[in-house]
C-alpha cells in the first residue's frame, strides 16, 4: 500500500503531470509537491508525494561507505 515508485515529470498540466516511469507514462497528481519538468518524484497511488533529491541519492552510497569507514 505504501509502495511508491520514482518517476520523471515530463509535462505539467495544472495540478496534474505526465510522469515517465522508465518508459511507461501515466498521469499523476502533483498538488502535494512543488515540481518543474525534469524533476524526479516519488509517486504513491497516483499522487506525487515528494521530489527525489538526486544529490542525496548520490550521497547515500557515499555516506554508506564513509559510515563504514568511521565505525
Partner 1 sequence: MLQLRDKKIADEILARIKKLNLQLKIMHVCGTHQDTIVRYGLDSLLKDCGIEVIQGPGCPVCVTTTLEIQKAITLAKNGVTVATFGDMIKVPAAGTSLQKARAEGGDVRIVYSIDDAVKMAGKGEVVFIGVGFETTAPSTAVTLLNEPENFYVLSCHRYIPPALDALLGMGEIRIDGIICPGHVSTIIGMEPYKPLSCKYEIPQVIAGFEPLDVLMAVYMIARQIDEGRHEVENEYIRVVRPEGNEKAKEALKEVFDPADAEWRGFPIIKKSKMALKKEFEEYDAEKRYEDLLENIEMAEEAKGCRCGEVLRGLIYPQQCPLFGKICNPSNPVGPCMVSIEGACNIEYRYKND
Which residues, 4 to 63, sit near partner 1 by CB under 8 A? 4, 6, 29, 31-33, 42, 44-47, 49-50, 52-53, 56-57, 59-61, 63
Instruction: State yes or no: residue 1 binds partner 1 (CB under 8 A).
Output: yes
Question: Which residue is it, cell 561507505?
Answer: 65
Phi, psi (degrees; rounded to nearest 5) at 5: -120, 135
Cell numbers found for residue 7: 518517476
Q: Answer whether 63's CB lies under 8 Å from 33's CB.
A: no
Shortest distance (Å) from residue 57 CB to partner 1: 4
Among residues 69, 30, 57, which one has the least CA distance to residue 46?
30
What residues line the site for partner 1 (CB under 8 A)? 1-4, 6, 29, 31-33, 42, 44-47, 49-50, 52-53, 56-57, 59-61, 63-65, 67-68, 71
Amino acid at each position: 500500500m505504501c509502495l511508491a515508485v520514482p518517476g520523471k515529470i515530463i509535462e505539467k498540466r495544472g495540478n496534474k503531470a505526465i510522469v515517465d516511469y522508465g518508459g511507461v507514462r501515466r498521469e499523476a497528481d502533483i498538488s502535494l509537491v512543488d515540481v518543474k519538468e525534469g524533476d524526479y518524484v516519488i509517486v504513491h497511488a497516483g499522487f506525487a508525494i515528494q521530489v527525489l533529491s538526486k544529490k542525496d541519492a548520490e550521497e547515500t552510497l557515499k555516506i554508506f561507505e564513509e559510515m563504514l569507514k568511521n565505525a
